[in-house]
Chain A
Amino acid sequence: MTFDYAPAPESRSVVDLAPSYGLFIDGEFAEGAGGGLRKTVSPATEEVLAEYTQGTAEDVDRAVQAARRAFEKWSALPGAERAKYLFRIARIIQERSRELAVLETLDNGKPIREARDADLPLVAAHFFYYAGWADKLGHAGFGPDPKPLGVAGQVIPWNFPLLMLAWKVAPALACGNTVVLKPAETTPLSALFFADICRQAGLPKGVVNIVTGDGSTGASLVAHPGIDKVAFTGSTEVGKAIARTVAGTDKKLTLELGGKAANIVFDDAAVDQAVEGIVNGIFFNQGHVCCAGSRLLVQESIQDELLDALKRRMATLRVGDPLDKNTDIGAINSAEQLARITELAAAGEAEGAERWSPSCELPGSGYWFAPTLFTGVTQAHRIAREEVFGPVLSVLTFRTPEEAVAKANNTPYGLSAGIWTEKGSRMLWMANQLRAGVIWSNTFNKFDPASPFGGYKESGFGREGGRHGLEAYLNV
């Protein structure tokens, strides 16, 4: 007899999905101007969840105009009044968190454990946090009476659909801006549910507008002359295209792009906790995390010991139905992303790195990729340089702290890094040397609304979160 955990699926009946969704413009759900409908599927089963509207340039224009009209009143409200709306939204998110977590899991493929325990609490926390700032903008360090920018055009990715929405919408509204947001084409549903929450909270019409669609919808939004600010989170490639579009206009821009973070483990690290941190760093959200610790840098003297421990731990990861409360790793978000991960992993093998995965049975339908470890990786390998955005960890080694710094910084990206050591002086020295926006020590992938987040180099510019996050939405 073995201790096999019986399935413990979260009920999906808490989510009431409509067969088809329109756009949310000027406080109303409205049909699109003829862009047609797209389907969004559950990546775990390939089941069609709902249809949504492909937003056109005309739709974007309507949304921007609604936001422009709403801006006059919204920005004129006292901060404390705007705060009330944000607090109300935060509380509704908490009340509906189970429903939203299940929805996010269905549409994205992430495990319900993470949607429930990480995403949703953070989403609510961001609204609470920025609600607190709304009437204190004069104390944020940007002058006595900083003004909002106007209409913000926001384009968000599919890895944390609702959390990325919160990171963008909460500070924008707190500062007095109005927004037009385009969610990712594979995960539009939670943004549409958020639109409903805005109505439930009685948010004035036009303050938040949601236009769904693919990349062309996002391109129309970014290029629209009526917006004052563009905020984008996503791939470096698209980020560059957006930067080119915005160049020469007076639109303000923040970009939060890819990453290839180094997770650096010294020989004096707390080994068991470092293993947990490595697992959390790369396998959290199937590795669909821009700040994922995808390059493990291990001090050579503990390489064998650490890799043994890591493999043992990886063998206990449970891959499968994302709605099962015991699932650790869910589905890859789309067939396209799965193909990219598969291609990069094959390149890793072809270039001579050694591939390892625990034995795990993957479901028959849906998009799946087993947690994968590559050893013997060098700086010259593609898997050490390119962002995989999947559950694939590349292991490199180093001998001295200087070498660790050199290798960690030798990347076009600079979003995050991790340092594992029991020695405080080394930790601080390393943190000063590493060129990355977020540096975690003896932990990884920890987020807090009060802490700014953003990158160096090709990981983008500007900061989200914290007091610094206000700057992107204020005329300073």
Chain B
Amino acid sequence: MPTTVPAYGKEAAGRLASMADVTASDGALRRFLHGLPGVDAVGLQARAATLGTRSIKTTAKAYAIDLAISMIDLTTLEGADTPGKVRALCAKGVHPDPTDRTAPKVAAICVYPDMVATAKEALGDSGIHVASVATAFPAGRAALPVKLADTRDAVAAGADEIDMVIDRGAFLSGRYLEVFEEIKAVKEACARPDGSAAHLKVIFETGELQTYDNVRRVSWLSMLAGADFIKTSTGKVAVNATPPVTLLMLEAVRDFRATTGVQVGVKPAGGIRTTKDAIKYLVMVNETLGEEWLTADWFRFGASSLLNDLLMQRQKLSTGRYSGPDYVTVD
């Protein structure tokens, strides 16, 4: 189950430090980001579609379903969230299928900052992480001190992971260094008094960034600023995670590790509802990054309704029959 990010050797740290030049000024950062290889939209979409045609059956399917369950950040992000709702979700995260205790637990429970303490208490020593969407989620439209306070509160309440949203306005108007500094500041706010730190996931809201070139640039920018994970979207806009965007981000983390030695995780979020879709994402990870990334440490699904479909498919594999929505819990 999820562990902490491995500490990198001196070599990786040195390679990352040598990238410091590119973030020395707004101009340098712009030149670097605009010097990254372009993205051909047609080619990217074609590749994502081809990977989506892999046929995953029998043992591979059973493996993929359990893997997908173990990678879920089970999420409730409603204005109407209550401690009761969060506790119910936590119980489901620990034992997703009450009729079958062999079902793996999820990777994390994702809640608003004010629910972190409740979730933390409900999860106890289950090993499941608590992720919290801080930084004025989902719009991100608040002053930096407010965002940092939001983050510190969540960390103080026990959040293991912080999902921050970037300032899309700043990014789209080309103020790259401002976005970079903000991510750095939030990363610092993730630090705990004991020297450890909450894991930082940086949300791009790719649906609002529009172009694939922007997605590649923001991926590099966030990784340079210290993101532990890069995440597609909040799930709160019309266009959330898509296979091409996720594929592009997988390619970015692959290239980033080849350049700096630092490994970063990827989290598609929003709109992934079926087992079939989830398996397509796993195939994409498998064939772009390989086995190394196929764990909850390096790949997550941000989802709420995906889990039940996975569980129904899992029951189908073990019993040979389709059950129905009443054979899995609503939350």
Q: Which of B43, B59, B67, B286 is A273 in contact with, Cβ under 8 Å?
A: B43
**B294 on the A face (CB < 8 A):** yes
**A271 on the B face (CB < 8 A):** yes
> Whole-angstrom distance from the CB of A301 to the nearest CB of chain B?
13
Shortest Cβ distance from B286 into A: residue: A3
Q: Which of B34-68 contact A (CB under 8 A)?
A: 37-40, 42-44, 46-47, 53-61, 63-64, 67
Report A-chain residues with C-beta under 8 Å of the C-beta of B251.
Answer: 272
CB–CB B39/A6 < 8 A: no
Interface size on A, residues (CB 8 A): 24
**B287 on the A face (CB < 8 A):** yes
Q: Which of A5, A268, A442 is B55 in contact with, Cβ under 8 Å?
A: A5
Given the contacts A268-B38, A270-B43, A422-B38, A326 and B282 also touching, CB distance less than 8 Å: no
Given the contacts A8-B57, A326-B55, A3 and B44 also touching, CB distance less than 8 Å: no
Interface size on B, residues (CB 8 A): 28
Contacts A5-B55, A276-B43 supplied; 14 other A-B pairs, CB < 8 Å: A1-B63, A3-B291, A4-B60, A5-B54, A5-B56, A270-B39, A270-B40, A270-B43, A272-B37, A273-B47, A325-B53, A422-B38, A442-B40, A443-B43
Given the contacts A272-B251, A276-B43, A276-B47, A3 and B60 also touching, CB distance less than 8 Å: yes
Given the contacts A3-B64, A270-B37, A442-B40, A326 and B54 also touching, CB distance less than 8 Å: yes
CB–CB A276/B46 < 8 A: yes
Q: Which of B174-225 contact A (CB under 8 A)?
A: none
**A32 on the B face (CB < 8 A):** no
Interface of B is mostly: helix
Shortest Cβ distance from A117 into B: residue: B53
Q: Which of A97-143 contact B (CB under 8 A)?
A: 113, 117
CB–CB A3/B39 < 8 A: no
Contact with B along A326-341 (1 / 0, CB 8 A): 1000000000000000
> Whole-angstrom distance from the CB of B32 to the nearest CB of chain A?
15
22 contacts between A and B (CB under 8 A): A2-B291, A3-B63, A3-B286, A4-B59, A4-B60, A6-B59, A6-B60, A8-B57, A268-B37, A268-B38, A269-B37, A270-B43, A271-B37, A272-B47, A272-B248, A273-B40, A273-B42, A273-B47, A274-B43, A277-B43, A325-B53, A326-B55
A5, A113, A316, A443 pick with most chain B CB within 10 angstroms: A5
> Whole-angstrom distance from the CB of A209 to the nearest CB of chain B?
37
Report A-chain residues with C-beta under 8 Å of the C-beta of B59.
Answer: 4, 6
Report A-chain residues with C-beta under 8 Å of the C-beta of B57.
Answer: 6, 8
> Whole-angstrom distance from the CB of B269 to the nearest CB of chain A?
22
Report A-chain residues with C-beta under 8 Å of the C-beta of B286.
Answer: 3
Q: Which of A249-302 contact B (CB under 8 A)?
A: 268-274, 276-277
CB–CB A272/B60 < 8 A: no
CB–CB B294/A443 < 8 A: no
Q: How far is the CA of A325 from the CA of B291 in the complex (A)?
A: 21
> Whole-angstrom distance from the CB of A386 to the nearest CB of chain B?
29
CB–CB B37/A3 < 8 A: no
Report A-chain residues with C-beta under 8 Å of the C-beta of B40.
Answer: 270, 273, 442
Report A-chain residues with C-beta under 8 Å of the C-beta of B291.
Answer: 2-3
CB–CB A316/B43 < 8 A: no
Q: How far is the CA of A113 from the CA of B53 in the complex (A)?
A: 9
Q: How far is the CA of A443 from the CA of B47 in the complex (A)?
A: 12
> Whole-angstrom distance from the CB of B324 to the nearest CB of chain A?
26
B59, B60, B291, B294 pick with most chain A CB within 10 angstroms: B60
Q: Which of B42, B63, B287 is A316 in contact with, Cβ under 8 Å?
A: B287
> Whole-angstrom distance from the CB of A371 to the nearest CB of chain B?
15
> Whole-angstrom distance from the CB of A299 to the nearest CB of chain B?
13
> Whole-angstrom distance from the CB of A273 to the nearest CB of chain B?
3
Q: Which of B286-302 contact A (CB under 8 A)?
A: 286-287, 291, 294
Q: How far is the CA of A4 from the CA of B287 in the complex (A)?
A: 11
Contact with A along B248-262 (1 / 0, CB 8 A): 100100000000000
Given the contacts A3-B282, A8-B55, A117-B53, A272 and B64 also touching, CB distance less than 8 Å: no
Shortest Cβ distance from A421 into B: residue: B38
Q: Which of B229-260 contact A (CB under 8 A)?
A: 248, 251
Shortest Cβ distance from A3 into B: residue: B286
Q: How far is the CA of A270 from the CA of B38 in the complex (A)?
A: 5
> Whole-angstrom distance from the CB of A112 to the nearest CB of chain B?
10
Q: How far is the CA of A274 from the CA of B286 in the complex (A)?
A: 20
Q: How far is the CA of A326 from the CA of B294 in the complex (A)?
A: 19
CB–CB A5/B60 < 8 A: yes
Report B-chain residues with C-beta under 8 Å of the C-beta of A272.
Answer: 37, 39, 43-44, 47, 248, 251
CB–CB B37/A6 < 8 A: no
Report B-chain residues with C-beta under 8 Å of the C-beta of A117.
Answer: 53
Q: Which of B47, B53, B58, B67 is A3 in contact with, Cβ under 8 Å?
A: B67
Report B-chain residues with C-beta under 8 Å of the C-beta of A277.
Answer: 43
Shortest Cβ distance from B58 into A: residue: A6
Report B-chain residues with C-beta under 8 Å of the C-beta of A325.
Answer: 53-55
Shortest Cβ distance from B66 into A: residue: A1
Report A-chain residues with C-beta under 8 Å of the C-beta of B294.
Answer: 3
Report B-chain residues with C-beta under 8 Å of the C-beta of A270.
Answer: 37-40, 43
Report A-chain residues with C-beta under 8 Å of the C-beta of B44.
Answer: 272-273
Report A-chain residues with C-beta under 8 Å of the C-beta of B54.
Answer: 5, 325-326
Shortest Cβ distance from B248 into A: residue: A272
Shortest Cβ distance from A8 into B: residue: B55
Q: How far is the CA of A1 from the CA of B67 in the complex (A)?
A: 11
Q: Which of B102-152 contact A (CB under 8 A)?
A: none
Q: How far is the CA of A74 from the CA of B164 in the complex (A)?
A: 71
Q: How far is the CA of A422 from the CA of B37 in the complex (A)?
A: 9
Report A-chain residues with C-beta under 8 Å of the C-beta of B58.
Answer: 6
